[in-house]
Chain A
Amino acid sequence: MDWHQDIFEILIKHKISIVAHVPDAGHGPLIQLCEAYDNMHTVTLTAEQDGVGLLSGAWAGGSKGVLLMQSSGVGNAINALALPNVCRIPFLTIVTMRGEWGEFIPWQVPMGQGTPKILEAMNVRVFRADTKEEIGVTVDAAADLAYNTRQSAAVLVSQRLIGAKQFKQGQKHA
């Protein structure tokens, strides 16, 4: 089964009703599944840090959410992560990784390599999925930890699993 579908089913299992995201190719099929599902409210953000505040406010109103972003977005969100940390608001994010397995663009490397360290520095519990087989159980475990123990949890989806983006000079956008 497609790994996006695995994540989607775990989000339903945890009654996640708000899906905030900055558009991302890696998360693309998952975002489409969430948009098509009546019981989920998807919000397209202009910057990842807004997702941290948005989901915190949603939790204050009794709703559970998830932030879908790319590893570069973790850099944008650093200071905002203090909000769920200081208030012990459950916070769940799923991060598609760049700058690691088979990366082509050097500009992606610094933030990609810094992502797990920065999340840990901001007191976010970091989980990692390298294969299709482990993505569902990993998101499930991270959601359990976030929402049962009121912690911040991130699942890093390996670039090995997503497939490194290939670039060829002169190619057209897909």
Chain B
Amino acid sequence: MLKRRPTVEFLLAGRSQNLFAVSGLGSSTWDLSATGDDRRNFCFNGVMGQAAPFALGLAIAQPTKQVVLITGDGEILMSLGILATIANVAPKNLCLLVLDNESYSETGGQPSATAGPTNLELIAKGCGFANTSTVHNDSELAALRKTLHAADELHFSNIKIATEELPLIFPHSFDGVTAINRFRDVAIACSD
């Protein structure tokens, strides 16, 4: 089964200058931080459910940049409606990656809805995403990496990952003003 940190590392390796990453609170933020500090990363540490809307807003405001959301099954389940909104706006420069371990790892590993009959890729399809995937293994992950780096279509991918206990890797700062200022500076500065 895929492991979350090597998965995120592999997907973002060799990222273009143009790739901006947004992570959802908890494990996804530790995963993105584990790839190294980068001013093109914005890590949520709260407001569960808001990382996907934030990524959409950034994608609309910066249409020449690639925006990648990295979040968990728990966070996306909290605001499924945003998938309908994103599918309707349909920005080509947005890619949603859900690290799905079928549980709430930050709160003790309680099962999420995806441990039951809930299928996030089908939900995304039903919301109107034309390009979706579910990733279980290395070859599917390699295909997803190609899609991600081609950066020419709106994509939703549900990545099934193992449940693991991992050390927390903190972002550059938990202070929101510090975090948004350094992110915004590069998001605006290197416009094509």
Contacts and interface: CB of A to CB of B under 8 A. Distances in A.
A88 B180 CA distance: 9
Contacts of B46: 82-83, 86
Contacts, number: 123
Contact of B51 (A45, A53, A60): A53
Nearest to B49: A49
Contacts of B50: 49-50, 52-53, 56, 80, 83
A139 to B, nearest CB: 21
A57 B85 contact: no
A14 interface: no
A20 to B, nearest CB: 8
Contacts of A45: 81, 85
Given A60-B42, A60-B57, A53 B187 contact: no
A62 interface: yes
Contacts of A86: 46, 176-177
A82 B79 CA distance: 16
A39 interface: no
Contact of B180 (A49, A63, A80, A87): A87
Interface string B63-77: 001000000000000
A51 B50 CA distance: 9
* Residue among A79, A82, A87, A89 having the largest count of chain B Cβ atoms under 10 Å: A87
Nearest to B46: A82
B39 to A, nearest CB: 12
A37 to B, nearest CB: 16
A79 B53 CA distance: 14
B184 interface: yes
Of the listed residues A54, A55, A62, the one surrounded by the most CB atoms of chain B closer than 10 A to its CB is: A54
A56 B54 contact: yes
Interface string B121-136: 0000000000000000
A49 B61 contact: no
Interface residues of B, number: 36
A118 interface: no
B172 to A, nearest CB: 14
B179 A87 contact: yes
A33 interface: no
B176 A61 contact: no
Interface string B162-180: 0000000000000011011
Interface string B81-101: 110110011000000000000
A43 B85 contact: yes
Contact of B53 (A54, A59, A63, A87): A54
Nearest to B174: A86
A60 B65 CA distance: 13
B184 A59 contact: yes
25 contacts: A47-B79, A50-B50, A50-B52, A50-B53, A52-B50, A56-B54, A57-B56, A57-B58, A59-B57, A59-B61, A59-B184, A60-B57, A60-B58, A61-B58, A61-B62, A63-B57, A79-B47, A79-B48, A79-B49, A83-B47, A83-B176, A86-B46, A86-B176, A87-B177, A88-B177
